Chain A
Amino acid sequence: MTSLNFETIFQSKIDDETKIEPKDWMPDAYRKTLIRQISQHAHSEIVGMLPEGNWITRAPSLRRKLILLAKVQDEAGHGLYLYSAAETLGADRDDLVQQLLTGKAKYSSIFNYPTLNWADIGAIGWLVDGAAIMNQVMLTRTSYGPYARAMVRICKEESFHQRQGYEIMIAMAKGSPEQKAMAQDSLNRWWWPSLMMFGPSDSESTHSDQALKWKIKRKSNDELRQQFVDVTVPQAEYLGLTVPDPALHWNEARDHYDFGEINWDEFWSVVKGNGPCNRQRLQARVKAYEDGAWVRDAAIAYAEKKEQRKLAPEAAVKAA
């Protein structure tokens, strides 16, 4: 069969909503796009632990601390589900990690913003996880089987993340005037970066058309962003907080909220590495990787020793 035939069969499977599985034939570009997207997604989960980890020792109560620990542990888990999914495409885990540590691979820019007050932990759960959920719910229907399955697990767990964040926001927004001010300050700082999480607008997005045709993505960046604004604005109203966008208003004719223009200069600047915390985040990852090297090596050495003892128990004892 010619590769053209393979491609026709591949596309017709996608059109029929048949999932693509690891050993199925797929175009090289499909494989590459998925490895890039899934590994970036995995890196985002891993780096995403850092801004929240900052508050584990400072959580205002034991209850909040337990919840935050569980949430950060979930983020590690999500990263691992995703790395595993990328490996089913033939990617090597170490290569992927190296790409993150050397700055070659991107991760979600949102994690390059600092967490300055406790309300930020609420805003991250509510807005950042809320925006991630919009994207991830769509991805439960992505065309690549292992990615879709990882997303189903992740979405089940993310919904706890969003609710715990909103609960923090309720506590702060309905609390003392100082607490409410912190909640408002946090919304002011996280609103726009959250909208940026959906990526460049459709007219600027380089990967969108092909990704839609292959059903890697099922909705465009702008569609998802609109959906997020529509569900989130009423949630802000319930909190009695003001969304920091003077252009925001309900458009009866469109049946959607209209909202202001994103600061794309800021968006690209953070993507290119000049956000408030880009260097700090990467340094933290590199340090964790290097400090953990001896543990990884020791575990291998121990596994080898055990294996040798199993194969030749007496020889191993004599050698020792």
Chain B
Amino acid sequence: MKNTWPLWEVFIRSKSGLSHKHVGSLHASDAEMAVENARDLYTRRNEGVSIWVVESKHITASDPDDSDPLFEPAKDKIYRHPTFYSVPDEVTHM
């Protein structure tokens, strides 16, 4: 049996006030090493102030083949956007 380090997905907060963003993946034997490796691999040039790692196998992703039923319903609901409504020129601050 192959005895290999599992794959981890890495998320970096680039500065306070922004959310963590996926930057890539890496292999590590445990979570602690994953954070250390992520520091060396993805923040060599001050790219981050905080790191999340999660083992790739724990991520559930939507299936691209289901994109239509998943995302199509939102497309015809244009009334959810402010640009759907007309505001008279005389009315300001809206």
Contact = CB atoms under 8 A, between A and B. Distances in A.
B14 interface: no
B64 interface: yes
Contacts of B24: 81, 84-85, 149-150, 153
Interface in A281-299: 296-297, 299
B12 to A, nearest CB: 12
Contacts of A24: 64
A253 interface: no
Interface string A150-180: 1001000100000000000000000000000
B64 A303 contact: no
Interface residues of A, number: 28
Given A81-B24, A94-B2, A150-B24, A300 B29 contact: yes
A306 B5 contact: no
A94 B27 CA distance: 11
A87 interface: yes
A253 to B, nearest CB: 44
Interface in A96-129: none
B77 interface: no
B61 interface: yes
Contacts of A94: 2, 4
A302 B26 contact: no
Most buried by A among B29, B61, B63: B29
Q: What are the 3 closest A-B residue pairs judged by CB atoms, nearest first?
A: A299-B29, A303-B30, A303-B29
Interface of B: 2-5, 7, 24-27, 29-30, 33, 40-41, 44-45, 61, 63-65
Interface of A: 21, 23-25, 70, 73-74, 77, 80-81, 84-85, 87-88, 93-94, 149-150, 153, 157, 296-297, 299-300, 302-303, 306-307
